[in-house]
Amino acid sequence: MISGPAVVDQLLKELSEKVKALESKYKQKMQGLKLSGKFRTGQGKPGEVLCKFAEEEKASLVIVGTRGLGKIRRTFLGSVSDYVIHHCHVPVLVCRH
């Protein structure tokens, strides 16, 4: 059994592989639709990271999805889209399923 720092290293490696696989999948989709774009990854609270990236990239629009949680669940779990709507300094488009 692996323990200590080796476990963390293994988990980080697996996470990195998953991120690369997702990036590859969406790059192919974008190419198929003849769209251009950039992939960025970051650490921290998702809403804060999205707002920071929007500022760094000088975005003119941020598009986020929503899972459509109810008000009570959203209150306890938080909502990335709510955070971005209220903290981002550019227009935000929220898309449902």
Same domain? 28 vs 47: no
Same domain? 52 vs 32: no
Per the structure, how many domains does the chain have? 2
Instruction: Quote the pLDDT of residue 82.
Output: 87
Tokens at 23, concatenated: 């990036």
The model carries a pTM of 0.72
Same domain? 32 vs 49: no
What integer is the mean pLDDT of 37-43? Answer: 88
- pLDDT tens digits for 11-35? 999 999 999 999 999 999 999 999 9
Which residue, 57, 45, 55, 38, is CA-closest to 82? 45
Could you tell me the CATH number of the domain that includes residue 71? 3.40.50.620
Same domain? 75 vs 53: yes
Same domain? 60 vs 92: yes
Same domain? 18 vs 52: no
Query: In which domain, by residue range, is 80 found?
Result: 43-97
Instruction: Quote the pLDDT of residue 73.
Output: 64
Same domain? 48 vs 25: no
- pLDDT tens digits for 61-78? 999 988 776 777 666 556
Whether 52 has a pLDDT exceeding 90, the answer reads yes
Rounded CA gap, 22 and 76, in Å?
A: 28
What is the DSSP annotation of 22-88?
A: HHHHHHHHHHHTT---------S-HHHHHHHHHHHTT-S-EEEEE----HHHHHHH--HHHHHHHH-
